[in-house]
Amino acid sequence: YALGGLAVGESAAQRLRVIDWIAPLLPKDRPRYLMGVGTPLDLVEAVARGLDQFDCVLPTRMGRHGIAYTDDGMLRLKRAEFISDQRPVDASTPSPAMRVSRGYLHHLLKSGEHLGGTLLSLHNLAYYRQLMARCRAAIRAGRFVAFAEAFRQRYRIDAEADPEAGRSGD
């Protein structure tokens, strides 16, 4: 069963109200698929409402625009603050991007090298895979409510916007 037509301009609060209204009507013994919705916070909120499957272009689109997802929110690696940053993009997410520094990723992105976007896309896909594995583990352990609340508290949504918006510092 699929729920679509969301993430086309409505606010996150409006989207959650629609999901809250429709999700209980879907059979619990069948896969429940949310189409085209997909920030990390969106996924955690959807899992909390009983949805099982997701697809979205965001991990790769944002990677191509120089953005990495982490548990703390989005890193906009085109910003000047990352020029000399020697830390990996996210030490807790195994991907090819963790082998290079944020500063090097910044250089690749600002130089127009496609490798930067490719590495960040791979990182974001690995991050999403890991996030969903953590959701499944929390559900199996009976601690998903606590997991979701901790994720909500840590994840910064202030930067979740179109990568073309607010381009200061790019």
Of 62, 47, 60, 57, which Cα lies nearest the Cα of 151?
Answer: 47
pLDDT value at residue 65: 97
DSSP codes joined into one string, 5-61:
S-SSS--HHHHHHHHHHHGGGS-TTS--EEES---HHHHHHHHHTT--EEE-SHHHH
Sign of CA dihedral 29, 34, 40, 44: negative
* Percentage with pLDDT > 90 across the chain: 68
Question: Angle at CA 14, nearest 5°, toward 149 and 138?
Answer: 25
**pLDDT, the chain, mean:** 89
pTM for the whole thing? 0.87
Predicted confidence (pLDDT) per residue in 118-150, tens digit: 999 999 999 999 999 999 999 999 999 999 999
Predicted confidence (pLDDT) per residue in 32-77, tens digit: 998 888 899 999 999 999 999 999 999 999 999 999 999 989 999 9
Q: Which has the higher per-residue pLDDT, 95 or 2?
A: 95
Of 104, 132, 131, which Cα lies nearest the Cα of 120?
Answer: 104
Domain boundaries, the chain: 2-56+132-154, 59-123
Q: Does the structure show a pLDDT above 90 at 168?
A: no
Q: Does the structure show a pLDDT above 60 at 169?
A: no
pLDDT value at residue 13: 84
